[in-house]
């Protein structure tokens, strides 16, 4: 048995209101299947009465307690960056970190969200047209989904957000990275949807706290594909409506699982079994 398998590993997730997260269960179940002694804990700012201002102390505590890594979620993905020693190219491009490897006294920031979405998309919507897509939402999830779909070769992306400035900021950050693509902030959603092959949904609408549809159902047409980032619940109103009118659909589970696949690999140095992690996720959300 290798030294990696013999060494007990600890990791954690920092964020606010994360008690319902499935990430610990996914990591620890895969760790157990690989023969690892692997603990994964929640570091919930809300439960602790803490705030993002406490990030420096939380990082120091994690290092002192020997954690091998930390996942980072809302509202800390951008705020953690000043306290890191190094960033992967993707984390630097995205300006957001969801995975921090703690190794040899250094803190190395990565972003597995974009890869998680891309891998889920490749598997769940193989062969769909990638000429023009509409994206709803330009926050943290929206930056990751835009980067992912443009990395996959999308040629035209129209971004909508309730705050037009946020959509414009996403366009400004993505355009230099993908100069071959036409990326714009949208102002006319019906027209954009008529011209689109598909829809990327990257807002909280559809979550238990924010029920409803992120756009009028009549804008969905049978030729559209629809990719969702919300995974709690896995079956959102958007996906129900999209399937009702004949769209190909992708739920948010793939992004949730594959970002964990990427983080597990970084934390443990072991290759995770993605199919096993997908099956476990489906069992957890059944």
**Catalytic annotation, residues:** 77
| 25: Cβ contacts below 8 Å, ≥ 6 apart | 280, 284
Query: For residue 91, what are the CA distances in angstroms to 68, 108, 113, 190, 245?
Result: 19, 10, 10, 33, 37
The CA-based angle 234-236-240, given to 5 degrees, is 115
Report the distance separating Cα 105 and Cα 94, nearest Å.
Answer: 24
167-174 long-range contacts, Cβ below 8 Å, gap at least 24? 167/138, 169/138, 170/138, 170/142, 170/143, 170/146, 173/93, 173/95, 173/143, 174/146, 174/147, 174/150
Report the distance separating Cα 145 and Cα 58, nearest Å.
Answer: 28
């Amino acid at each position: 048995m290798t030294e990696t398998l013999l060494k007990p590993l600890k990791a954690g997730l920092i964020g606010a209101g994360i008690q319902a997260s499935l990430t610990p269960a996914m990591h620890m179940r895969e760790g157990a299947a690989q023969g690892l002694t692997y603990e994964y804990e929640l570091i919930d700012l809300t439960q602790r009465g803490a705030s993002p201002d406490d990030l420096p102390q939380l990082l120091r505590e994690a290092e002192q307690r020997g954690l091998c890594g930390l996942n980072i979620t809302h509202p800390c993905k951008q705020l953690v960056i000043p306290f890191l020693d190094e960033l992967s190219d993707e984390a630097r491009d995205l300006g957001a970190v969801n995975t921090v490897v703690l190794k040899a006294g250094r803190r190395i920031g990565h972003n597995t969200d974009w890869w998680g979405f891309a891998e889920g998309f490749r598997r769940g919507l193989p062969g769909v047209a990638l000429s023009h897509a509409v994206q709803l939402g330009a926050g943290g999830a929206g930056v990751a989904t835009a980067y992912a779909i443009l990395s996959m070769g999308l040629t035209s992306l129209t971004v909508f957000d309730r705050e037009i400035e946020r959509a414009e900021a996403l366009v400004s950050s993505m355009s230099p990275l993908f100069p071959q693509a036409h990326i714009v902030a949208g102002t006319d959603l019906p027209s954009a949807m008529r011209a689109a092959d598909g829809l990327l949904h990257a807002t909280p609408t559809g979550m238990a706290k924010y029920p409803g549809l992120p756009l009028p159902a009549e804008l969905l047409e049978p030729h559209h594909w629809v990719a969702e980032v919300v995974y709690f619940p896995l079956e959102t109103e958007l996906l129900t409506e999209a399937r009702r009118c004949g769209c190909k659909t992708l739920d948010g589970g793939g992004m949730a699982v594959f970002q964990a696949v990427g983080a597990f690999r970084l934390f443990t140095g072991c290759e995770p079994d993605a199919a096993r992690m997908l099956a476990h996720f489906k069992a957890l959300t059944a």
